Amino acid sequence: MPPTSSNDDATDRQLRLFVGLVVVVSLCGAGLVVAFTMARPAAPTNFAVVGLIFAAIILASWLRVRFRVQSSQDVTTWVEVPILIGLVLVPGPWVILSTACAVTVLRVARRRPPLKITWQVAKDSLSTSAAAGVLLAFGVMPSTSDPPFAAGAVVAALCAMAVIDQVAFIPIMAISSHSRLRDVATRNLDVKIVGYVVRLVATLVTLALLAYNGDPLLLLLLPLIVACLQLWQSGRVRTREERDSWQRLAEATDALNAVDLTQVLHSAVSRAAVIFSASEAEIDLAVAGTDDRVVIGSAGGIRHDGSPGTAKNKHRGEVTTDLIAHDGTLRVGVLRLRFGGAVKLTEFEQYKLKTFASALCTAIRNASAYAELARISAQNAHDAAHDALTGLANRRQLYDRAARHFSGDSDDGVVALLLIDLNHFKEVNDTLGHAAGDAVLRKVARRLSTAAAPGDLVARLGGDEFAMLLTNLPTPAMAGHRAETVLASLDDAIEVEGMQLSVSAAAGIALAPGSGGVNELMRRADIAMYQAKKAGQQTATYAHASDTADVERLVLGSELQRAIAEREFVVEFQPIVDLGSGEVLWAEALARWQHPEHGFLTPMQFLETVERSGQLPAFADAVLEQALDASNQWREAGFDMPVAVNVSPRSLLDPSFPEMVLSRLGRHKVSAEMLVFELAETLTLTQLEVVRKALNHLSEAGVRLALDDFGTGVSPLSVLSHIPVSQLKIDREFVSTVQTSSEAVAVIRSTVDLARSLHLTVIAEGVESEPQRLSLWELGCVAGQGHLFARSMSADRLLATMQRGTGGRTGALAASLHDGGAVVRMSRRRPGSTGRSSLPHLPA
């Protein structure tokens, strides 16, 4: 009988009720047999035979064939043989009594619980009573001297015993093991049927011998017969169990040969419950630290798959084994088998469990490896199509999506490309660091994604350049409205590291062309974006009429590296003169591109391309080299005058730029005070904040700074407070109208007054006539440059011009406006100066 010490109170109650029912039915059956036996005349009882029957029943009960169903034992004995023979030889009550006594003695000797003893005694007594009743019904009269051979009655009696035994055994086994009645009834059913047939044959053979010989001493062979039959069935059952078990294990191992980890775990749990006849199985991967996952289930299905904290485990008996690789070097988890009660696995089952655990470990490792490979493959595929920083689509995915439109594989309607470039983004990187710059890019990406319409594709092409493929536009004109909506999403300030940053952008719009494909679409959007930047607008739509110049710009960009290597960039110099004396004070270096096909190109035609090409450091170095060479040439000829060089804000963003400049000064043996860097006053405050460190470095070394185009910016005083300039250059816009515009005069006068208070030198650009020169001189402007004095020219030609001079004065390019001929020299830095130049000598 199965154990009854379950924690499940409902199960205990069911077991006790069923045992009580069997006991009551057993007592009734035994009472009826006694009553019918006493009512019929019978031969005297041979108690020696009763003793032999008693001994045979004990032996048959002791030699058992065991079947484990979860934690319960299905036990098969050959007790039916001595019982049936005894019922033919002696009255039924004695056999019932012998059966009850034999079972009681054997169970007590094995120290079984009282409930188990009661159930076993009642069951065996009931089956014996049923067999006795069948024999009585067939009119079989027990006799030891002339035993009858009633084969039909014996067959019927054995069938009754089998039915009663299974009817009493199956429910109680199902209750205790929480199994279905059908599963318990069909387990080893063929083995049981064969066993009953063999019992029947053994019983009939023995009874035939007794009927033929009539000697009760033949019963002495009964224990031997029972033992032989018991050993035969035990070996047969064991062989079959091992064969079936290995077959189930092989099938389970094959089922574990899967690449999906969930499939492996679920299959292993359900099959382990079947193979080892467990109520449920559990695989715990969390204990190995590889995965916080527990799977619990049985042959009927999976009841839990998730984290350990949500699994509720109620069990009485548990067998645990580690999931370890064959070489013992890796432990991936634990396999637990749960039973309704305490279970001790046989040596064969332990070996089988170890084999299954090893196969499961290998399957988990293989599935995990495959999952990791699949994850890596998916990640690589994702990374290949997405930008790592923002998570947006990258250039490749944008091209693929656009290519599908041109190939006709997608129904995107009217399609346009919006190419977006952030303004002054590099300043954020250099001022706040790349981490802050990355944060800005991520937030811009989120805003663009939010502003995109369903079906649009937002991509980051690199750096601060984004693109949006606009799809399903109702009309081409809608592209402009959509672009405005997208850029409007960037209007609100972005908070980074506690600071509010304003982000602006320029965008180019290009409608999908009829030919040329993706590359042509990108080219057109790029051209439109540059047109927007040049015009100071947020957006511009590609127009074929303005394409030529932009195509040339793109072509020039591809030729920059060659131009620098072959020294196609040359520097011309325009002299800056004292407005009063007409003598040359210094010269401004102006770069020209001597293109082999397009001739001389001015900075307006190529400088923006240089700044965006990555060739700016090499270009700046080439210009500085030629300017310092010219300065040395003039000094050797007796003209020790500075040279001014325009510098791009992007150069000042390069941390290595100041050191490069000082290195070139040292190599050419030119004093730092002989070099002037001109900056555009149209720089934003943010740009100036970024380049302040580089400018301070250069200024402290002695390099002087001039603010070009002064008066055209929005906040000149703020600009002057940010950088250590020594010169202000008035823009030609005010110089050209100095004689006709009171506003221009007011700007120039206020600039001169501001320069006096800050000890700065004022230079006028674009002086074209003597009246302009005189007006500027009277307003207090110190120096000027323009076509009145000289156009830009090579260093050699400028040297020759200065040597020739004017009116017999070497180094003068115009007649003096005053008698003294005194030259107002450019101020030098005073010792201990903090960056401002000393006050120049100004005319009275």
CA atoms within 13 A of residue 840's CA, in its CB half-sphere: 24
What confidence score (pLDDT) does residue 214 get? 56
Which range, 196-205, 301-310, 369-378, 549-558, is most confident?
A: 369-378
pTM over 0.75: no
Tokens standing for residue 747: 């700007």
Tokens standing for residue 314: 């109620």
**Average pLDDT rounded to a whole number, residues 676-682:** 76
Quick one: what percent of the chain has pLDDT higher than 70? 77
Segment among 66-70, 624-628, 630-634, 662-666 with least mean pLDDT: 66-70
What confidence score (pLDDT) does residue 839 get? 33
Rounded CA gap, 740 and 738, in Å? 6
pLDDT per residue over 734-746, tens digit each? 898 888 888 889 8
pLDDT higher than 90, residue 523? no
pLDDT per residue over 683-694, tens digit each? 555 556 557 788
CA atoms within 13 A of residue 463's CA, in its CB half-sphere: 14
Rounded CA gap, 100 and 669, in Å? 125
Which range, 4-18, 62-76, 632-646, 739-753, is most confident?
A: 632-646
Strands laid side by side in the 294-298 sheet: 301-306, 294-298, 280-284, 331-339, 317-324
Which fold does the domain 565-576+583-646+790-817 belong to in CATH? Answer: TIM Barrel (3.20.20)
Segment among 136-150, 355-369, 644-658 with least mean pLDDT: 136-150
What confidence score (pLDDT) does residue 233 get? 58
Q: pLDDT band at residue 550, thresholds of 50, 70 and 90? A: low
Q: C-alpha angle with apex 160: 156 to 165, nearest 5 degrees?
A: 150
Residue 69 or 342, more confident = 342
DSSP structural state of residue 705: E
Q: C-alpha angle with apex 253: 252 to 255, nearest 5 degrees?
A: 65
Number of neighbouring beta carbons within 10 Å of residue 423: 16
What confidence score (pLDDT) does residue 828 get? 39
Q: pLDDT band at residue 843, thresholds of 50, 70 and 90? A: very low
Q: State the Cα torsion 62-63-69-71 to the nearest 10°.
A: 40
For the four alpha carbons of 537, 538, 542 and 548, in that order, the dihedral sign comes to positive
What confidence score (pLDDT) does residue 645 get? 95
Rounded CA gap, 515 and 365, in Å? 53
Tokens standing for residue 96: 């019932």
pLDDT higher than 60, residue 375? yes
Strands laid side by side in the 457-462 sheet: 457-462, 465-473, 414-422, 505-511, 539-541
pLDDT higher than 60, residue 1? no
Segment among 12-16, 402-406, 717-721 with least mean pLDDT: 717-721
The domain spans of the chain are 9-244, 256-381, 395-542, 565-576+583-646+790-817
Segment among 44-48, 616-620, 716-720 with least mean pLDDT: 716-720
What is the average pLDDT score of the chain?
A: 78
Rounded CA gap, 837 and 727, in Å? 8
Residue 394 or 300, more confident = 394
Residue 20 or 314, more confident = 20
Segment among 185-194, 276-285, 395-404, 729-738 with least mean pLDDT: 185-194
Number of neighbouring beta carbons within 10 Å of residue 251: 13
Q: State the Cα torsion 830-836-840-844 to the nearest 10°.
A: -130
Q: pLDDT band at residue 147, thresholds of 50, 70 and 90? A: low
Q: pLDDT band at residue 341, thresholds of 50, 70 and 90? A: low
**Average pLDDT rounded to a whole number, residues 770-784:** 92
Which range, 139-143, 225-229, 330-334, 477-481, is most confident?
A: 477-481
What confidence score (pLDDT) does residue 215 get? 58
Q: pLDDT band at residue 71, thresholds of 50, 70 and 90? A: very low
For the packed helices 47-62 and 222-255, what is the interaxial angle rounded to 10 degrees?
20
**Average pLDDT rounded to a whole number, residues 80-103:** 82
Matching fold, domains 395-542 and 565-576+583-646+790-817: no
For the structural domain made of 395-542, what CATH number should be given? 3.30.70.270
What confidence score (pLDDT) does residue 347 get? 74
What confidence score (pLDDT) does residue 573 get? 95
pLDDT higher than 50, residue 117? yes
Rounded CA gap, 359 and 257, in Å? 9
| Closest among 122, 117, 100 to 53, alpha carbons compared | 100
pLDDT per residue over 792-840, tens digit each? 999 999 999 999 999 889 999 999 987 654 444 444 333 333 333 333 3
What confidence score (pLDDT) does residue 787 get? 92
CB 272 within 8 A of CB 241: no
CB 606 within 8 A of CB 623: no
What confidence score (pLDDT) does residue 357 get? 79
What confidence score (pLDDT) does residue 672 get? 92
Q: pLDDT band at residue 671, thresholds of 50, 70 and 90? A: very high
What confidence score (pLDDT) does residue 579 get? 92
Rounded CA gap, 657 and 617, in Å? 8
Rounded CA gap, 211 and 221, in Å? 15
Q: State the Cα torsion 82-86-89-94 to the nearest 10°.
A: 160
For the structural domain made of 256-381, what CATH number should be given? 3.30.450.40
Residue 662 or 431, more confident = 662
Segment among 78-87, 172-181, 276-285, 309-318 with least mean pLDDT: 309-318
pLDDT higher than 50, residue 251? yes
pLDDT per residue over 627-636, tens digit each? 999 999 999 9
Element (H, E) at 298: strand 294-298
**Average pLDDT rounded to a whole number, residues 497-518:** 80
CB 629 within 8 A of CB 795: yes
